[in-house]
Structure 1
Amino acid sequence: MFLFQLPEVVLYHIMSYLEYKSLSRLSQVCKTIYHFANRDAVWRKIAKELINTGITRQGADVYPHIPLKDRVKVSQNWCHGICRKEVMLKWRINLLPWIQLDGDVLYLSQAADIGAYHLRPDTGKLQRSPMALFSGHLEDVCRFAVTDTHLVSGGSDGKILVHHRRNGFSMEYSGHNQEVNCLDCRGGLIVSGSRDRTARIWTLSSNCPRDTIPMNDRVWSVAISPTQSSFVTGTACCANFSPLRIWDVERCELLCCLGSEFRRGAGVLDIVYESPVQLLTCGYDTYIRSWDLRLSPRKCVMEWEEPHDSALYCIQTDGNHMIASGSSYYGVIRTWDKRQTRCLENCQRGRCCNLLQRQPAEFCLTIQDLSPRTMPQDYLT
């Protein structure tokens, strides 16, 4: 009996015992095996166990249009640091931009403006000029968030601007007394944090704050829970309380504090929800921490330390095993596997280290192509 005279269910079961190298070799035997072994069903189990494949632990698929076999290749190239770098955009500016990719549109802040650039998935190249420009701030944009319908930005001028992505209509919110360091927007709810030591709750339908919460410390980061029932604030940790606190959205009451052993000045600079019960944080104390909100008391279950003892300004996760972090040490981006304590690889962000000295510099937005098929959501730096 030939192998492919067996029922497909039996073939899937046989291939489930193979790791990615053996499957790749098997697919080179003949055209029939090649087409069968390239099916997503064959690679799903492997993809779920690897980093940066778009398959979450809950089984959700972030990139359903890209074959799983290609994503496994990407994951292996991530782990081995194999990539080609191509400059997408250059500009002369003093500040490092905030960027966010939404489908095939890249939103990128440059000084007081936010440009929307069309990104071609086949080549990974940007348009030379933005397809839309969102402006209105008098000073630099500190942070922005993109939703299905709106773009919400906070700036050094204390303003919060809500731009409608389709018709270009903008609304100015009264904002804060000092620069808006952070904000998050989810389901029509906006939470902002400022250097003026307050956090404010807004709605997209009103330009007046619904609630203002005194924080007694500078607010560096905020994140709204996926359930929209609570939000987390990260402060500068200059006062005598934990910099990480969870608040009730409706009552604006403090629900709990996370951690009690933060040293003074260990401010939290970025917060990311992996799920309603899992949280990732990073900051000045050089650690990435994972928090389990189901435990009582809620506590840190895992931490990863930046090797060069450098402050971590931003983090992102694929919802599975991968974490990417950005530090101030020569503009290094590191990738981490949550099952390991040491980082996998690191890459330099061009000449962005000049940001630390506040000198005029030419910055490059680069895209890293880690596989024959470009997947921009994963390679943007």
Structure 2
Amino acid sequence: MLLHQLPEDILYHVLSYLDYRSLSRLSQVCRSIWSFVNRDTVWRRVAKEFLNTGIRRDGTDIYPHIPLKERVKIAQNWYDGVCKRAIPLRWKTKLLPWLQLDGDVLFLSQAADIRAYRLRQGRPQRNPFKIYSGHDGDVCHFVLTDSHLISGGSDGKILVHSRTTGTVMELSGHNQEVNCLDSKDGLIISGSRDRTARIWTLNSSCLRDTIPLHDRVWSVALNPTLSSFVTGTACCENFSPLRIWDVERLECVCNLGSEFRRGAGVLDIAFESPFQLFTCGYDTFIRLWDLRLSPRKCVMEWEEPHDSALYCIQTDGNHMIASGSSYYGVVRLWDKRQTKCLQFFQLSSDPVSSPVYCLRLSSAHLYAALATALYSLDFKQSPIYIR
């Protein structure tokens, strides 16, 4: 009996012993073997062990339209740091831009506007197809939902833009700049320099509650279960910068950590699951918190080797973390299974360095927003730098 004549369940079992190189070589034997080996079912086990293949830890696939074999090839480039660098957008005035990705559309805040760019082969077109405006000052932060774009500005206003009808609703309450936002299922959490966090209900467009925090709020994040949210503050007062709050009772459930230095503010927070929380900030560490433990505690740390503050982080939902630091536009890739940095990319060569204010990942691209430009790393292409 020939190999390709084996029953499928037996053949699946045989292939489960092969790594990605062996599978690639085997697919070149004949057409029938090629057709079988190229199935996503064969590559799913292999893809779970690679970086940024779109297979999350819970088994969900966020890029189902891309064959897994293709994603594993690209994932090897992520691991080896092989990419093509480009600067698709520049601007003259120094800004504090923010980014969001939604499929083949990139949203970028520039001063008082948020511009939506279509992506062609991962590269944003030169001109935006839509501009969201209405703030009297710069946009500090914004989030996307299925139906709305919600932005907070230096004017203290929160604007809710409908992505379908184009209408704009204003939420007033903060009297200083809105540094951070998060929104899920009609609930909005905002944090401000005015030392408060506020809760809004999208349907009623009115302020539900205000929480005094006695310190500037740099970051907020809603738990995916909507039962709680986390605030990260500047750590300039005698309070823990990381606190978990109950959404309904508005009580502080717990403080995370107890040994933060004064000024070790938390600049970015990201839930990877209802029980796993990633944080980063001025103390140069990425931390993973396990919220199932009692007491809740940090279970792993990754230290920025050049002692730079970390402005932003994003994970692929499985093994990879990407971080943006405060000097020379340095982006680092981390494998959660080890503590040392896996790869780093210095995006800016300017004498005056710029932090990476925000970064976003897709299956084959990384986008990073610096003070005067948007940078992109294409892990699907050959490594040629384009100015």
Q: Is the shorter-chain TM-score for this pair beyond 0.5, marking a shared fold?
A: yes
Cα distance in 1, alignment partners of residues 106 and 59 from structure 2 = 27
Cα distance in 1, alignment partners of residues 67 and 248 from structure 2 = 42
Cα distance in 1, alignment partners of residues 107 and 204 from structure 2 = 24
Cα distance in 2, alignment partners of residues 137 and 17 from structure 1 = 57
Q: CA deviation at 1:302?
A: 0.3
C-alpha RMSD over aligned residues: 1.7
- Aligned partner letter, 1:279: L
Shift in alpha-carbon separation, 1:12–1:151, aligned structure 2, 3 A: same
8 Å contact kept, 2:108–2:116: yes
Q: Report which stretch shifted further, 82-91 or 72-81.
A: 82-91
Query: Any gaps of 5 or more consecutive residues in structure 2?
Result: 356-369, 383-387
State the partner residue of 1:76.
76
Q: CA deviation at 1:217?
A: 0.6
Shift in alpha-carbon separation, 1:362–1:213, aligned structure 2, 3 A: closer
Cα distance in 1, alignment partners of residues 351 and 217 from structure 2 = 25
- Aligned partner letter, 1:87: I
Q: CA deviation at 1:329?
A: 1.6
State the partner residue of 1:307.
305
State the partner residue of 1:339.
337
State the partner residue of 1:365.
374
Cα distance in 1, alignment partners of residues 9 and 261 from structure 2 = 56
- What whole-Å deviation, never above 9, does each CA across 1:312-363 have from its counterpart, x for those lacking one? 0110011111111111121111111100101111113335774649xxx983
Secondary structure of the structure 1 residue equivalent to 2:95: coil
8 Å contact kept, 2:236–2:262: yes
State the partner residue of 1:321.
319
State the partner residue of 1:151.
149
Q: CA deviation at 1:166?
A: 1.4
Aligned pairs for 1:1-381 (under 5 A) are 1-120=1-120, 123-350=121-348, 354=352, 356=354, 363-371=372-380
8 Å contact kept, 1:237–1:266: yes
- Identity %, equivalent residues: 70
8 Å contact kept, 1:281–1:289: yes
Secondary structure of the structure 2 residue equivalent to 1:301: strand
Cα distance in 2, alignment partners of residues 133 and 86 from structure 1 = 23
State the partner residue of 1:376.
none
Shift in alpha-carbon separation, 1:9–1:192, aligned structure 2, 3 A: same
Q: CA deviation at 1:216?
A: 0.7
- Aligned partner letter, 1:343: C
Alignment length (residue pairs): 368
8 Å contact kept, 1:151–1:163: yes
Secondary structure of the structure 1 residue equivalent to 2:123: coil
Secondary structure of the structure 2 residue equivalent to 1:12: helix
8 Å contact kept, 2:220–2:231: yes
8 Å contact kept, 1:134–1:163: yes
Q: CA deviation at 1:131?
A: 1.3
Shift in alpha-carbon separation, 1:352–1:324, aligned structure 2, 3 A: farther
Q: CA deviation at 1:366?
A: 3.1
Moved over 4 A (4+): none
Cα distance in 1, alignment partners of residues 331 and 115 from structure 2 = 23
Q: CA deviation at 1:87?
A: 3.1
- Aligned partner letter, 2:35: H
- What whole-Å deviation, never above 9, does each CA across 1:130-165 have from its counterpart, x for those lacking one? 111111111111100000000000111111111001
- What whole-Å deviation, never above 9, does each CA across 1:234-267 have from its counterpart, x for those lacking one? 0011111211000011111111111111111110
8 Å contact kept, 1:96–1:355: no
Q: CA deviation at 1:35?
A: 1.8
Query: Any gaps of 5 or more consecutive residues in structure 1?
Result: 374-381
Cα distance in 1, alignment partners of residues 286 and 277 from structure 2 = 10
Cα distance in 2, alignment partners of residues 371 and 104 from structure 1 = 16
State the partner residue of 2:366.
none
8 Å contact kept, 2:229–2:245: yes
8 Å contact kept, 2:116–2:128: yes
8 Å contact kept, 2:111–2:139: yes
